[in-house]
Amino acid sequence: MGRRMRLTQYAHGGGCACKIPPGELEEVVAGLGGRPDGDLLVGLDSGDDAAVVRISGDTAVVATADFFTPVVDDPYDWGRIAAANALSDVYAMGGRPLVAVNLLAWPRDVLPFDVAREVLRGGLDVAVLAECHVGGGHSVDDPEPKYGMAVTGIADAGRLLRNDRGRAGTPLSLTKPLGLGVLNNRHKATGEVFEQAVAIMTELNRDAAAAALKAGAVCATDVTGFGLLGHLHKLARASGVSAVVDAAAVPYADGAREAVRDGYVSGGTRRNLDWVAPRTDFGSADEETRLLLADAQTSGGLLVAGEVPGAPIVGELVAARDRSLLVR
């Protein structure tokens, strides 16, 4: 039943493209978090991927939550993607997930619960792969289906990956290709299935985080709903630097450029581009490239300040300039 049902048709947006635009979100939360001090190592002020609290010595707890509307029609794959995406925030901080609880919103009078069970099964299978316990969760009756997880992990307080530790002269590595947003938007509009996109989105960022830590990295973020440029702007701003992006070095998923050319660009991606445009020197980059660099990713890779074996170098951090981002 699940494979015949167009789950993406029951939601106004899909995946991380349904996030509240970054500019609007920052206005809402401004002044609500306070600066981290004492045992709160990472809070709201830098817009990092998760909260981090020291509990004893070098041991810190990492806490995050992430959920969204269907990004694909297959319920099992949606569950896997949503779980991998939620776990990613822990990996992006250099942590290891320990336990997760499900977050489920379901239109119970519209969609059968056996479809919800497939979503939950997909999430559980990815959590098992990550060696992360799943201990129940919370559900509500909602007009739109939504699924994700609240995840608690553990990290070495002295070896965190943070978005405010970037230093000029450091290369930037990207561990997954871009273009997931436009492929997901094409899937939502046409029903075409892009197995390559599903494979990318369900891949855990566990190995990438471990490789970054082994290489001595101290600064990273994951690339999700605000696109590469949006998340890189937040990293550069928090670190007091600017960033140069080598557009020709950025990898893209198969079919992504064709999807942009055919017009399958989400509103979330366009809002991302509008947000970063005043902060970006695009040089000679054309509109297609700009949209891909701002493409709203779901369960994207890690953007690491440092060299990660096997990952392409897509730019570097430089001393602060008038604009935080420069595309070359």
Residues with catalytic roles: 16
The alpha-carbon radius of gyration of the chain (Å, integer) is 19
Q: Which amino acid type is present at position 118?
A: E
Q: Which amino acid type is present at position 109?
A: D
Where helices occur in the chain by DSSP H, the ranges are 22-29, 75-92, 113-129, 180-190, 195-202, 206-214, 227-239, 256-261, 267-276, 287-293
Dihedral sign (CA 66, 231, 291, 245): negative
Q: Which amino acid type is present at position 320?
A: A
Q: Which amino acid type is present at position 196?
A: Q
Instruction: Tell me phi and psi for residue 152, to 5 degrees.
Output: -115, 130
Q: What is the DSSP string of 25-87?
A: HHHHHTTSS----TTEEE-TTTT-SSEEEEEETTEEEEEEEEEES-SSS-HHHHHHHHHHHHH
Q: What span, in angstroms and rounded, lies between the C-alpha atoms of 230 and 293?
A: 9
Instruction: Tell me phi and psi for residue 199, to 5 degrees.
Output: -60, -40
- Are the C-beta atoms of 294 and 273 separated by less than 8 Å? yes
Q: What span, in angstroms and rounded, lies between the C-alpha atoms of 48 and 150?
A: 16
Q: What span, in angstroms and rounded, lies between the C-alpha atoms of 297 and 301?
A: 9
